[in-house]
Amino acid sequence: MREIKFRAMMDRPHFGHEGLWVYLQGVGSDLWFSKNGKYYGDIKQGTECQFTGFQDKNEVDIYDGHILGGENKHIVEWHDDGWVIRSISLDWTTRLKTALFQYDIEIIGNIYEDSGMLNQVEEKGIKND
């Protein structure tokens, strides 16, 4: 069974915090902490991301909203009854678990901080739904 955990972007990042992301302290809690254990209460609404239970080739936790690189770029999403990756440049999706076994995949960004990666694909005339 996978670990249930969430992360979100800080609403107002300030000096003394490591990065822009904070992590939920337990299910049913509303206490968000930075990786160094400092409490941070305000999160940017709409950036809450759930852990998929999988890691990339570098053993980094994969959350929904991550952009994965490999041969192509993909976005991690929840679809119907499981985690999938949706190709940015091609018109297909596949189960995340299947893709991790078939491809050499690593996290290269996320949809909240790296939207430029998505725009580059769209500028080449490829539709991004």
Does 25 lie in the same domain as 77? no
Is the domain of 55 the same as that of 8? no
Are residue 19 and residue 42 in the same domain, yes or no?
yes
Match 């990666």 to its residue by tokens.
117
* Strand order, beta sheet including 82-87: 93-95, 82-87, 74-79, 66-69, 106-110
Summarised one tens digit per residue, pLDDT across range 12-50 is 666 555 457 888 866 666 677 777 777 776 778 888 899
Domain contains 129: no
CATH number for the domain spanning 97: value is 2.30.30.290
Instruction: Write down how long the chain is.
Output: 129
65/117 same-domain check: yes
Q: How far apart are the first and last CA of the chain?
A: 32
Domain count for the chain, please give it: 2
pLDDT digits (tens, 9 = 90+) for 58-112: 999 999 999 998 778 899 999 888 999 998 878 888 899 988 888 888 999 999 8
